[in-house]
Amino acid sequence: MADVSRNQAATLIANGNVTVNGRHEKASYRALPGDVVVVEPPAPVSREIAGENIPLRVAYEDEFLLVVDKPAGMVVHPAPGNWSGTLWQRRTVRIGYSVRRWRRGGSTVAMRR
C-alpha cells in the first residue's frame, strides 16, 4: 500500500474498509506479528460530465476560430468541488472541442482554432 497516503489510509479505516483479524480497529491500532490486515477499497465513483447550456459571450467565431469571453471566477475544468458550471460543460454544448488550460481567477478572452 505504498501508493496510499496516511490521510487516505485513515479515511479507509474510519469508513470501515480495513479489518485486522476480522475486526474493525481504530487508526491508532499497532499491528502485531501475525495480524491479518484486509483492505477493501470502496468502488470508484463514476462521474458523468454532462454538457450545460451556460451563458457565454462569444467575441468572434468563424469556421476556423472561436474566441470566447471567460468570466472571472468561472472554473475551466470539472474537479472535486466544481463538478458543474465550468467552461468544459459549456463547450460540450456549443464549442465541441477541447478547452485549454486557463486560470480561474481572472477573466480571459480564450481563442481556439
38-88: per-residue pLDDT in tens?
999 888 877 777 778 888 888 887 777 777 787 888 887 788 888 888 877
Is 46 inside a domain boundary?
Answer: no
pTM above threshold 0.75: no
Q: How many domains does the chain have?
A: 2
Distances (CA, A) of 82 to 16, 34, 43, 73, 107: 27, 44, 21, 11, 18
Is 68 inside a domain boundary?
Answer: yes
Residues 74 and 105 both lie in one domain? yes
Residue span of the structural domain in which 34 resides: 6-39
Q: pLDDT: is 32 or 82 the higher one?
A: 32
Distance CA 107, CA 69 (A): 7
Residues 61 and 29 both lie in one domain? no
Distance CA 4, CA 33 (A): 22
Residues 98 and 61 both lie in one domain? yes
* Per-residue model confidence (pLDDT) at position 60: 81
Residues 97 and 64 both lie in one domain? yes
